[in-house]
Amino acid sequence: MSYPEPRYHAEHGAPSGVFHLAGQAPDLSMGGPSGTQVHYLATGGSTGGAFGLYRYEMPAKPSGPSPHFHRTMTESFYVLDGTIRLYNGDKWADGKPGDFLFVPEGGIHAFRNESGEPATMLILFTPGAPREGYFEELAEIAATGRQLSPDEWTELYLRHDQYMV
């Protein structure tokens, strides 16, 4: 394996780093203020498509997606606080702080907070797909109580590279 081709070609470096400091309000509240809080630490748009990184703060109530896979991106999960059940397509494991799960393209995976306590993790996906649109659409559906037909769910999932198992 070697380094990729250069993407920056100027002679000197440039001050271009972007802070996302602790204590900032979440970018998205899924299920209102008592639901999952999502911090867009880096989006595909802000990283030139290189990656996306979210801090995902889950409340004590059970939450998380059913098993699924993606065709266009990898996804990784790093538990920061609490206990998050992680699924690698074969078995579930109780992820504790410091535990990590990498899922390549096509890998079946899921996660849930079933601990009864709040839990926080980082979600990293590569390349930097526009995943915030998916999460924002789910939050809007939950907030409005809109009911989707099976065909509408299928269409939503297909638009966002989400293939349910």
How far, in Å, CA of 56 to CA of 71, rounded? 22
pLDDT of residue 32: 79
Nearest to 116, CA basis, from 67, 63, 38, 57? 63
Residues 97-139 have pLDDT tens digits of 999 999 999 999 999 999 999 999 999 999 999 999 999 999 9
- The CA–CA distances, whole Å, from 123 to 54, 71, 79, 95, 142 equal 5, 17, 9, 13, 21
Query: Quick one: 86 exposed, middle or buried, by C-beta within 10 A (0-12, 13-18, 19+)?
Result: buried
Per-residue pLDDT of the chain (165 residues; tens, 9 = 90+): 999 999 999 999 999 999 999 999 999 999 877 899 999 999 999 999 999 999 999 999 998 999 999 999 999 999 999 999 999 999 999 999 999 999 999 999 999 999 999 999 999 999 999 999 999 999 999 999 999 999 999 999 999 999 999
Which tokens belong to 28?
A: 């998205």
Question: Topology of 28-164 in CATH?
Answer: Jelly Rolls (2.60.120)
Instruction: Please state the domain extents for the chain.
Output: 28-164
How far, in Å, CA of 35 to CA of 10, rounded? 44
